[in-house]
């Protein structure tokens, strides 16, 4: 029951005027009233991560969305992630704090454009990176994430052509890792990762020669070739638990978060410019507003949802369940904040 002191306010600006402590209290109270769960991506602002029930990469969060017993899923990430939650949990209400938080990479390909490509390659298998719309997933045979892309490609018969959408860099990475020649890649990319350049890595390496380099597979080939490790955002979190010095080729919010969790370690962003403005559209104020007003709800055409679900479920079946939580994850869980991810990278 909402007390007089906690009555909903009219606009997100009214919430923005409140102190952080009050916003957090409102979020916690309202979440309990609604039996809601907050799923937060690793690139979210630290204050959103702090109120998230589960933090993770795309795969871990989709597994949580599929398994949760909550009535309401509040997704703090970008649109395709919230849409994936709705595809996997159609009976639940899925909310986003800011509906403008889209992923420009996902917008590179539409369902219609993919149908045209399929018509040119009859018999090809279609693999949709999870950073895609439900309409594109509905046109696909199987999805993949940065955690399981190699495994997904290896599940497809060697002589079958693969249409891979929409990330050309991830497509190239899996091509290199699997030796598959017959992958037709869509020409999409993530502006945050694609803009990182070798010169930035060279400078970071000169300043921190002791650091290992970990790069997200959405980055360009020349950076991946220089990396000691290529992995998803949750893979990076696990590496941060194991190493004292790392250079991260990914969105710098993840690096800020890891620096605040491990103040004694040397964690450096490969590029200071690598910021996903779309992820950062979510704020604590909008999250509090979203819970109080039951908005913005993600809705999907049922026919598209069903077909997208098949593609996602095939991926989830292939990816298996959970790995045992690490010591650090265990501590977070005990503190009421659990990190998630499948560990199959
Ligand atoms: P992860 O699945 O590795 O978290 O990546 C999602 C994403 O959008 C990276 O840009
Ligand atoms: Fe999309 Fe890139 Fe932002 Fe990830 S970092 S959500 S791929 S724009």
In this predicted model, what pLDDT tens digit does every residue of 59-104 receive, in sequence order?
A: 999 999 999 999 999 999 999 999 999 999 999 999 999 999 999 9
pLDDT at 319: 87
Q: Is 333's pLDDT higher than 50?
A: no
Mean pLDDT value of segment 15-43: 97
CA of 31 to the centre of ligand 2 (A): 27
104 lines ligand 2 (CB under 6 A): yes
Instruction: Please give the distance, rounded to the nearest whole angstrom, from the Cα atom of residue 131 to the centre of ligand 1.
Output: 8
Closest CA to 264 of 245, 247, 248: 245
- CA of 18 relative to ligand 1 center, distance in Å: 31
**Rounded to the nearest whole angstrom, what is the distance from the C-alpha of residue 117 to the centroid of ligand 1?**
25
Banded model confidence at residue 335, pLDDT cuts 50, 70, 90: low
Please report the pLDDT score of residue 312 as a whole number: 96
Ligand 1 pocket check: which of 216, 234, 278, 316 to mutate, most ligand atoms within 8 Å of Cβ? Answer: 216
CA of 92 from ligand 2 middle (Å) equals 25
Rg (CA), the chain: 20
- For residue 251, give the ligand 2 atom closest to its CA: 5
pLDDT of 343 over the 90 cut: no
* Rounded-to-integer distance, Cα 54 and Cα 49, Å: 8
Reported as a pLDDT band with limits 50, 70 and 90, residue 125 is very high
Ligand 1 close to Cβ of residue 231 (< 6 A): no
pLDDT of residue 212: 98
pLDDT-derived band at 266 (thresholds 50, 70, 90) equals very high
- Residue with the smallest CA separation from ligand 1 atom 4 is 57
Question: Nearest C-alpha to atom 1 of ligand 2 is from which residue?
Answer: 103
Q: From ligand 1's centre to the CA of 30, what distance in Å?
A: 28
Residue 117 pLDDT greater than 90, yes or no: yes
In the sheet that holds 183-185, the strands lie side by side as: 142-144, 125-129, 162-165, 183-185
Look-up of token digits 């991926």: 315
Distance 318 CA to ligand 2 centre (A): 24
Closest ligand relative to 276 C-alpha: 2
Give the ligand whose atoms come closest to the C-alpha of residue 234.
Answer: 1
For atom 7 of ligand 2, which residue has the closest CA?
A: 190
Q: Which residue puts its alpha carbon closest to atom 6 of ligand 1?
A: 58
Q: Which atom of ligand 2 is nearest to the CA of 190?
A: 2
* Per-residue H/E/C for the chain: CCCHHHCCCCCHHHHHCCCHHHHHHHHHHHHHHHCEEEEEECCCCHHHHHHCCEEECHHHHHHHHHHCCCCEEEEECCHHHHHHHHHHCCCCEEECCCCCCCCCCHHHCCHHHHHHHHHHCCCCEEEEECCCCHHHHHCCCEEECCCCHHHHHHCCCCCCCEEEECEHHHHHHHHHHHCCCCEEECCECCHHHHCCCHHHHHHHHHHCCCCEEEECCCCCHHHHHHCCEECCHHHHHHHHHHCCEEEEECCHHHHHHHHHHCCCCEEEECCCCCCCCCHHHCCHHHHHHHHHHCCCECCCCHHHHHHHHHHHHHHHHHHCCCCCCCHHHHHHHHCCCEEECCCCC
CA–centroid distance, residue 243 to ligand 2 (Å): 25
Contact 42, 256 (CB under 8 A): no
Mean pLDDT on 239-265: 95
Contact 232 CB / ligand 1 (< 6 Å): yes
pLDDT over threshold 50, residue 150:
yes
Nearest-ligand number for the alpha carbon of 192: 2
As a whole number, the mean pLDDT across the chain is 92
pTM for the full model?
Answer: 0.91
The neighbouring-strand residues paired with 300 are none
Q: Which atom of ligand 2 is nearest to the CA of 167?
A: 7
The pLDDT score that the predictor gives to residue 279 is: 98
């Amino acid at each position: 029951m909402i007390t007089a002191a906690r009555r909903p306010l009219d606009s997100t600006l009214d919430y923005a005027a409140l102190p952080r402590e009050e916003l957090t209290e409102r979020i916690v109270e309202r979440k309990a009233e609604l039996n809601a769960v907050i799923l937060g991506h690793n690139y979210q602002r630290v204050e959103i991560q702090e109120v998230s029930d589960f933090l993770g990469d795309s795969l871990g969060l989709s597994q949580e969305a599929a398994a949760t017993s909550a009535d309401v899923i509040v997704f703090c990430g970008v649109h395709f992630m919230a849409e994936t939650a709705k595809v996997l949990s159609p009976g639940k209400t899925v909310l986003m704090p800011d509906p403008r938080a889209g992923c420009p990479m996902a917008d590179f390909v539409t369902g219609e454009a993919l149908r045209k490509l399929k018509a040119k390659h009859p018999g090809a298998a279609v693999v949709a990176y999870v950073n895609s719309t439900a309409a594109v997933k509905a046109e696909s045979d199987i999805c993949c994430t940065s955690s399981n892309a190699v495994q997904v490609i290896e599940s497809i018969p060697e002589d079958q052509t693969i249409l891979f959408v929409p990330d050309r860099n991830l497509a190239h990475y899996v091509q290199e890792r699997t030796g598959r020649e017959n992958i037709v890649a869509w020409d999409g990319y993530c502006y945050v990762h694609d803009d990182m350049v070798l010169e930035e890595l060279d400078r970071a390496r000169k300043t921190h020669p002791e650091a290992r380099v970990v790069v997200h597979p959405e980055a360009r080939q020349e950076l991946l070739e220089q990396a000691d490790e290529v992995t998803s955002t949750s893979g990076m979190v696990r590496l941060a638990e194991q190493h004292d010095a790392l250079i991260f080729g990914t969105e710098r919010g993840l690096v800020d978060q890891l620096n605040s969790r491990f103040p004694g370690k040397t964690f450096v962003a490969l590029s200071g410019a690598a910021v996903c403005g779309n992820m950062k559209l979510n704020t604590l104020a909008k999250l509090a507003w979203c819970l109080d007003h039951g908005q913005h709800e993600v809705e999907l055409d049922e026919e598209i949802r069903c077909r997208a679900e098949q593609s996602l479920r095939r991926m989830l079946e292939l990816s298996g369940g959970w790995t045992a939580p690490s010591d650090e994850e265990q501590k977070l869980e005990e503190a009421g904040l659990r990190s998630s991810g499948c560990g199959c990278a």
